């Protein structure tokens, strides 16, 4: 490469939050990239997401902080309740700005997707491009997609989720070379099934909590059931809700037939029937069934909740971020936030890359993993521990939601 063409071209696989954030930072830095997404369009599914001081400076630098705040609610109190709607405890998250300079906010995941998507030119995202394999060359890396075409770049970024095809291809090569740790070859473990949804805008008389100034975060743990239930209010006067089923060894085997890392509506209806009669604090005598009935089908989804920290984040010209290298349950609200933080750190190191030398690339990949691994390893452990704690009863709400 000459000095004028020294900066690399990135092939980003996956248009989830991590991939979009990484691409948005590259776009801001005038760096070259393309995104390859196997779906026919970005599907902004899921429920609510909490963002705090850990990612707000990045949003500010991308120029979207004002829009983000305008489309979100400040996270107010978390209230914990018994199955009989008896108040147990509360925690006030509004101290965040005073202590850290930024509010903790709640917004719907689709809104965050839309904000990030607007930062990326449409021609940079290529849909229906499932990446089947990749191979390194002397100058770069070539990916092969399911339409039979090949695409060439200098660095491959696997942001394609818990069942990452990029990771699988990388690990197969490392395994052949005897360089893959034994733990990385083991399958993902999962301990929960999550059903999420977001209602349409609601009537304030019927659901008065949607008109409250701050976001209401309510959690219920039915004593005789292996569930914990959560609702959030949004600025659109919708309610985002989540029902998490904690699995033991036997129930885990039963749910193994549904092993899908994508947020989607598949298989959601059966689980929806199981939680219909659980209470909520959203309105007088309202149940989860009322929220489900007010939720458009396309905004309700079921997903397996895996948990694993991978030891290997990179090899050659390939690097992983987000769920592809550390998958966690949503109990602490850290999964998406960790992917966004990965994107920031990786982009910072990649901006320093001035050559196409594989040794320089590997050195910066190592710096990226060394900086992020301690935090994400702790986040995986925190999420797993909170999932088990919630499975035994209502606990004090996780501080990670506030400071993530």
Pairing of strands 73-81, 32-36: unpaired
| Domain span at 387 | 3-45+109-187+308-403
Residue 117 lies in a domain: yes
Residue 72 contacts by C-beta under 8 Å, 6 or more apart in sequence? 51, 105, 106, 107, 111, 215, 234, 235
Give the residue ranges of the chain where pLDDT is below 70. 1-6, 43-46, 224, 248-267, 330-333, 386-404
Would 302 be classed as within a structural domain?
no
**How many other C-beta atoms are found inside a 10 Å radius of the C-beta of residue 60?**
13
**Amino acid 379: pLDDT:** 87
In a domain, 83, yes or no: no
Report whether 281 contacts 85 (CB < 8 A): yes
**In total, how many domains does the chain have?**
1
Reduced to 3 states (helix: H, G, I; strand: E, B; else coil), residue 95 is coil
Predicted local distance difference test score (pLDDT) of residue 23 = 98
Residue 137 placed within a domain: yes
- Asked whether residue 121 is assigned to any structural domain, the reply reads yes
- Residue identified by tokens 């594989």 is 358
Partnered with residue 49 across adjacent β-strands are 107
Radius of gyration of the CA atoms of the chain, in A: 21
How much is the pLDDT for 392? 45
Closest CA to 14 of 184, 173, 166, 168: 166
Residue 92 lies in a domain: no
Tokens of 4: 């004028």
Size of the chain in residues: 404
Q: What residues does 305 pair with on adjacent strands?
A: 192
Phi, then psi, of 68 in degrees rounded to 5: -60, -45
pTM: 0.89
State CA 87 to chain mean position distance.
30
Residue 335 lies in a domain: yes
Is residue 256 situated within a structural domain? Answer: no
Give the domain CATH number at 327: 3.50.50.60
């Amino acid at each position: 490469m000459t000095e004028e063409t020294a900066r690399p071209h990135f092939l980003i696989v996956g248009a989830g939050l991590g991939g979009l954030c990484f691409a948005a930072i590259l776009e801001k830095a005038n760096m070259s990239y393309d995104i390859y997404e196997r779906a026919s369009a970005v599907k902004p599914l899921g429920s609510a997401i909490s963002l705090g001081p850990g990612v707000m400076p990045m949003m500010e630098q991308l120029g979207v902080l004002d829009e983000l705040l305008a489309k979100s609610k400040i996270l107010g109190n978390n209230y914990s309740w018994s199955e009989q709607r008896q108040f147990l405890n509360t925690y006030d998250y509004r101290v965040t700005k005073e202590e850290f300079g930024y509010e903790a906010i709640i917004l719907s995941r689709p809104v965050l997707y839309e904000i990030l998507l607007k930062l990326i030119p449409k021609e940079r995202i290529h849909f229906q491009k499932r990446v089947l394999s990749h191979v390194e060359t002397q100058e770069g890396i070539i990916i092969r997609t399911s339409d039979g075409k090949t695409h060439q770049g200098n660095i491959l970024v696997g942001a394609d989720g818990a069942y990452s095809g990029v990771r699988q291809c990388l690990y197969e090569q490392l395994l052949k070379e005897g360089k893959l740790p034994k733990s990385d070859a083991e399958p993902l473990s999962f301990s929960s099934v999550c059903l999420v949804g977001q209602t349409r805008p609601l009537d304030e008389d019927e659901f008065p909590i949607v008109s409250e100034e701050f976001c209401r975060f309510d959690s219920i743990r039915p004593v005789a059931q292996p569930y914990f239930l959560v609702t959030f209010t949004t600025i659109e006067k919708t309610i985002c809700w989540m029902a998490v089923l904690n699995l033991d060894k036997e129930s885990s085997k039963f749910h193994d037939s549904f092993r899908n890392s994508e947020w989607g509506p598949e298989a959601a209806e059966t689980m929806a029937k199981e939680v219909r009669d659980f209470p909520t604090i959203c309105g007088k005598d309202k149940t989860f069934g009322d929220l489900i009935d007010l939720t458009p089908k396309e905004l309700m989804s079921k997903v397996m909740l895996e948990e694993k920290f991978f030891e290997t984040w990179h090899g050659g010209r390939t690097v992983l971020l987000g769920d592809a290298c550390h998958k966690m349950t949503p109990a602490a609200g850290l999964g998406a936030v960790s992917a966004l933080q990965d994107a920031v750190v990786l982009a910072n190191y990649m901006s320093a890359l001035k050559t196409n030398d594989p040794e320089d690339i590997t050195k910066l990949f190592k710096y990226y993993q060394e900086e992020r691994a301690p935090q994400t390893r702790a986040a995986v452990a925190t999420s797993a521990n909170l999932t088990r704690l919630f499975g035994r009863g209502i606990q004090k709400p996780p501080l990670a939601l506030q400071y993530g």
